[in-house]
Chain A
Amino acid sequence: MKYLVAFLFLSFSLHATTIHVGKKYTVKSVKKGIALAKVGDTVIVHGGLYREGNISIKKKIVFLGKNLPILDGQKKHEVLSIYADSVVVDGFKIIKSAYATITDPCGIKVYNRNHVIIQNNVLDDNFFGIYLQNCQSCTIKNNYLRAYGKEEQQLGNGIHCWKSNDILIIANRIDGHRDGIYFEFVYDSLIWRNISVNNIRYGLHFMFSHSDTYITNVFKKNGAGVAVMYTKNVKMFNNYFEENWGDSAYGLLLKDISDSYIFNNRFARNTSGIYMEGTSRIKVEKNIFESNGWGMKIQASCMDNEIVNNNYLKNTFDISTNGSLVLNSFNSNYWDKYEGYDLDKNGIGDVPYHPLSLFAVLTEKTPSAMLLYRSFMITLLDKSEKVLPSITPDNFIDKTPLMKSLPL
């Protein structure tokens, strides 16, 4: 009778019921709480530790945590699986998902659904963090994901999206996973204000994911930086790529990228700021390259790229390349190594600048020559090469180098 009244009340007033789960409430188990809920209901889980194996949500509910309840997978289960559209998961601490290489168990996984919202959760020590598989129009917001593995194969990705579109990934922090954010076949999505640090492999990694936009993210101290491959129409604005150090670490690795726009990012203290391979028709504009080993490495397989109005500051080498063919244009950048003059005071140097130093070419061929860098000998060689280019391609120039750095 009681239930009937409640049901009538719900259906007539169009208000959902709320089910409380917790020690102090009649419903003690999360699973039971979910089972009791009907489509459109809210399940509020109160603070505490819940070890209930895999929890599946198969109807549209709002699943709320209060005082950060802990859902523990005990390293045996996928913690939370979502099989319904428009589910909201908010305010949980999800820990210790199982580890398996074929099924990829996750902290939270969404199976083939849309309009799911996952927000304000803490995911600690999971194999994969949040996994969207074949989803549309989902939002992942304000989550904190942390993992502790040391080896690539022990770890899954932080936020992993596969074959999805119109995803919003906003203001998450991912720390210590394999790839911070991983996209494969994800289209028309927005990645905004995320922080991806200390991940073992890439801070951001995407392939075949066209027309996505990346704005104001921080990718810092990741094993190999950020890698983006086989994609067109990428937009990257206002991101920070910092301190990605190592043998093959790049602030941003572009491989087979085309028709993209890289604007107003900051590349600081990376082994290579941007590494480009097979990249064409992209515009690199108003970025800052600061204190990198190599500001940009442009392989000879790149063409028709425009590098305009960037600041190159304190890099060991501003530009390096492995060929002599120059198919890209460098115009109106500021190079702090430029030593020309500006007689007509229009802010543009009167002598073209050769951003490619002899020594950059030398080390490309004989990497161990790096040992001699900044020795007096090399400085002399470099200076004479700047005056009379003989080894470096003489059309590799910025004809309108700026005298003052751009206020970026």
Chain B
Amino acid sequence: MIEIKNINKKFGKLEVLKSVNLSCKSGECIALIGPNGCGKTTLIKSILGMVLLDKGSIEFNGKSILGEYIYRENIGYMPQIGRYPDNMTIGQIIDMIKKIRNSNHDLDEDLLNAFELEKMFDKQMRTLSGGTTQKVSAVLAFLFNPEVLILDEPTAGLDPLASEILKEKIIKEKEKGKLIFITSHLLSELDDLVTEIIFMQDGEVHFHKKVADLKSETNETKISKAIASILKQRQPGTPNPKLEIVS
């Protein structure tokens, strides 16, 4: 579904993505993990076309996304920090996105109902807490029944109840056969969600494995522990190579 071929991206001197190759198919739920500044968000933004590549190409359903925009109809994106026009209310924001999309898909209003956002429809965005803003972002990401969901730190800032609702929703969508990307630092959360893991470090894909394979290789039952053990095996000597590049 999404083919990432040998992409490179530099911000100034800093190489953020170094020849990344990935192939993702529908039905997969991929966790994108790695330390801060490893290029996760840049990768996501490249898929969304917000970051333009220096080299390589990204194909969506077999077509390059370069200069395209219609493919984004099939992507629901939940940003890490969603900020919206201050003066608009929740209702207006949702209406606005509906109008912009102008889609004739059936709308998926599960989350809207589950988060009970309709009660707060006439609240202005600037008065909202971080968590409520995240809820709005989540609702928007799922609203149009997209084939691909990209969730950047979806549960950060959400209360446990809301975060549970969101997780259930993600699982439900996964079962519908959608492709889902999640970035998160809370590895424990991912256990029952993801089917594959992409680990990135310093702009490179460290590994891309099925969760099941990963667990069996390391004899661990938890993702967090499995990853920890892999990291210990692979990189004993170089604690942070990024510093060397910068200096």
> In the complex, are there CB atoms of A and B closer than 8 Å?
no
